[in-house]
Structure 1
Amino acid sequence: MKAFIITIGDEILLGQILDTNSRYAAAALARLGIETVQMRSVADTPDAIRAAVREALPCSDFVLLTGGLGPTRDDLTKKTLADFFGTRLVFNETAYRWVEQFLAHYPRGTMNAYNKSQAELPEDCTLLRNVKGTASGMWFEQGGKVLVSLPGVPFEMQYLLDAEVLPRLKERLGGDVLQYKMLTVFDEPEAALALHLRPYEEHLPAGLGLAYLPSPGYVRLRLTAKGPQGAEKLETCWAALKAALAPRRWIEGEKATAEERFAQEIARLGLTVATAESCTGGNVAHLITAVPGASRYFLGGVVSYANEVKVHTLGVSAEDLQRHGAVSEPVARQMAEGVRRLTGADWAVSTTGVAGPDGGTKDKPVGTVWIGLAGPQGSWAREFHFSATRERNIAKASVKALEMLLGAAQGRKKDEL
């Protein structure tokens, strides 16, 4: 089955909001083995919506629209789709009761003309109940093809897609569902990993494929299987993949990221950690606290962008700053020591570097980063040279800091970090 995703809204085209709906929907559809062939964002006008639908239906089996289902005059999707499918808008008592029930949960949720208009829906479609808002989803079928229209509000769209749309699509697909497993390999470039796994890939049976999804500091691998005996083949080849990766560090799971791997292991070890950051600006602490349950092991952090904060808060030597500069081994080491001392953490990590785009020198070009560690056995630091791009430097340094902090806490040797 092939899918075409259309997002509706001038605010997307003006760059005022990000289109997160397409990404969420495409990933959800992929889990069912449905291939998204195109994504399109269009204006909230009847002509633009009709043109997009006319283009989508011939080249796909399933069309998903999001947006334009609100109660105001500029939300035109319902009327446009009713005209397109040769039906009319009618007052739907069931949808009206849904709106009433939703509004009853809010102190100021009184029914008005705009809310009531949410019950005006195309006569010939299947309604999808939206318990997260007042706009119902709509399911149309024509010529063996399906078109679904969902609200553009992301949490409403996600709920309806997961609760109402995907189960129906799965039932239509029958047993022809894509199956896959994912893991994340850390601290290995994509090209080097692909070269290492080339013999493994060459022996994959028909119907199985390996995909590489690189991010700064790690590469996610997705092994997919489709067709007869897909599940059996997947399990066999999955075990072989994990064996082929030894002795590399990896973690299994669809959402396995550097911060999730860190959280699992640090929690298991029962240790506490802290951060002192300069060039990463608090991003390491953000990654740690993005995982629920971080309060069990993360004690706190200091963003010491200015040298004065390094000296007066973290206790970094002013003489060392003058002699070696902020981007140096002694400063990185003392930053980690200082935040460990302040918080009482078992382990601490620090980052200091030249993120860019300016500030680099011949000796310390953009992308130069020192990462320091401090723990029960003392402190040390390592120098890295990442890239010329600020965002990538921050991302790579943050992931590497987590990897080093975790490795040290696990007892790995300094030269292994």
Structure 2
Amino acid sequence: MIAEILSVGTELLLGNTVNTDARDISEYLSALGIDVGWHTVVGDNPGRLTDAVNIAKSRADLIITTGGLGPTCDDLTKQVLAAAFGIELYFDETEAERIRGYFSRRIGRPMTENNLQQAWLPVGCTVFSNLWGTAPGCTFEKDGVRVIMLPGPPRECRAMFENCAMPYLRTLGEGEIVSHNLRIFGRGESEVEFPLRERMNAMRNPTLAPYAKEGEMFLRVTAKAATREEAERMMEPVIAELRESLGAVVYGVDATSLEAVVSDLLREKGLTLAAAESCTGGLLSKRMTDLPGASEVFRGGAVVYATDSKTSLLGVPAALIEEKGVVSREVALSLAENVRAVFSADFGVGITGLAGPDGDGVHPVGTVFVALAAADDSFVREIHGGRDRDRIRTMAASHALDMLRRYMTGLPVEKI
């Protein structure tokens, strides 16, 4: 089955809104073993939307639309799709009553009549009631093509796909499709993909697909079998062999994030962390404290961005900064050791670097020193993250987390 995701909304074309719906749905479909052939974005224009639907009909087995189901005059997705497939619309009184109740019970203000436009649905469709907003979704099949319509707001779209569309799509397949993701830090896409290329091309079931995202690499292993248990058995030797060949750069299978892995390790071992951050501006602390139960493992952090604050707040000797430079191995290590002492933590992390736009005459933009201080040892990594400020900060925080992970699991820390 080949799917096309048709995202409707002029705001997407203009770049006012990021199309996260298409990204999320693509990930869901991949997990179901459904190939996504096309992403199409079209504005709120009935003629262009009609053209886009007709093109999608001609090449896709499954069309998933997002957006254009709301109460305003430019919400035309249902009308255009119904016309393209030769289906009438009917007024669904059950959905109309739900929409009225949403306004009276949850919003607490009068409903304007145009909101009932959302209750018009294609005859014969399966309705997806919207428990997270007002516009219902739906699905129907016509002319050998399956159509799923979802609301545009990302929270509603995700929830409706997970709770309505995904169970529906599971009923269409024979057997079970199961995927697992190996998460990798410290190797680029080409480094991971090249040694595996011949094997990936030869594999049919299970399959192996690499992709990069936010400074990390993922290897998705997918198998299809009569039962979930059989699919899992098919994947076990593949995953074990990949972990063996890739080694320490694999930090988890189906792990949610590097910081979650580190947080779990700290909690299991009864250890704590403190962070002193300069160029990352508190990003490492944010990533740790975004996790539930962070107070058990994260003692605190200090953003010492200005040079003198490193001395006044964390006691980094001014003479050391003068001699070695604020961006140096020695200053990063002093930050790590001192923040560990200040917060009475088991580990201290110190980060200092150049996020741009200018270098310091010694190091190029993107140079960052990341230090880890423990009770019995200390380590420093020098990394180079290019010229993009956000990428530099993200990479620096991730390297700090990777150093912690490696130390707590007995792996080499300084080198990747």
* TM-score, L = length of structure 1: 0.90
Q: CA deviation at 1:296?
A: 1.6
Q: CA deviation at 1:2?
A: 0.5
Any conservation in 1 of the 2:68–2:76 contact (CA below 8 Å)?
Answer: yes
Structure 1 residue identity aligned to 2:243: K
Distance 1:90 1:415, change over 3 A: closer
The residue aligned with 1:244 is: 245
Cα distance in 2 between the residues matched to 1:391 and 1:96: 46
Gaps of 5+ in 1: none
The residue aligned with 1:223 is: 221
The residue aligned with 1:156 is: 156
Cα distance in 1 between the residues matched to 2:194 and 2:52: 41
The residue aligned with 1:36 is: 36
Distance 1:144 1:198, change over 3 A: closer
Structure 2 residue identity aligned to 1:212: P
Any conservation in 2 of the 1:183–1:256 contact (CA below 8 Å)?
Answer: no
Cα distance in 2 between the residues matched to 1:414 and 1:167: 44
Structure 1 residue identity aligned to 2:315: G
The alignment-based identity, stated in percent, is 36
The residue aligned with 2:268 is: 268
The residue aligned with 1:316 is: 316
The residue aligned with 2:234 is: 233
Cα distance in 2 between the residues matched to 1:64 and 1:92: 21
Q: CA deviation at 1:82?
A: 3.0
The residue aligned with 2:90 is: 90
Structure 1 residue identity aligned to 2:142: Q
Cα distance in 1 between the residues matched to 2:135 and 2:214: 39
Any conservation in 2 of the 1:266–1:406 contact (CA below 8 Å)?
Answer: no
Cα distance in 1 between the residues matched to 2:413 and 2:203: 41
RMSD: 2.6
The residue aligned with 1:207 is: 205
Distance 1:349 1:225, change over 3 A: same
Cα distance in 2 between the residues matched to 1:2 and 1:82: 21
Q: Which deviates more from structure 2 when the two are superposed, residues 86-95 or residues 14-23?
A: 86-95
Distance 1:232 1:409, change over 3 A: closer
Any conservation in 2 of the 1:181–1:223 contact (CA below 8 Å)?
Answer: yes
Gaps of 5+ in 2: none
Distance 1:325 1:31, change over 3 A: same
Q: CA deviation at 1:202?
A: 7.4
Distance 1:358 1:266, change over 3 A: same
Cα distance in 1 between the residues matched to 2:285 and 2:335: 15
Q: Secondary structure at the match of 1:313?
A: helix
Q: Mapping of 1:56-135 within 5 angstroms? A: 56-106=56-106, 108-135=108-135
The residue aligned with 2:398 is: 399
Q: Which deviates more from structure 2 when the two are superposed, residues 65-74 or residues 389-398?
A: 389-398
Cα distance in 1 between the residues matched to 2:305 and 2:54: 54
Any conservation in 1 of the 2:70–2:115 contact (CA below 8 Å)?
Answer: no
Q: Does 1:345 align with 2:341?
A: no
Deviations 1:177-196 (A, max 9, x none): 53322212332344444455
Q: CA deviation at 1:119?
A: 2.1
Task: State the number of aligned residues.
Answer: 413
Distance 1:54 1:285, change over 3 A: same
Cα distance in 1 between the residues matched to 2:375 and 2:50: 66
Cα distance in 1 between the residues matched to 2:90 and 2:317: 75
Cα distance in 1 between the residues matched to 2:144 and 2:200: 38
Q: CA deviation at 1:379?
A: 4.7
Any conservation in 1 of the 2:8–2:43 contact (CA below 8 Å)?
Answer: yes
Q: CA deviation at 1:114?
A: 2.7
Distance 1:266 1:75, change over 3 A: same
Structure 2 residue identity aligned to 1:245: L
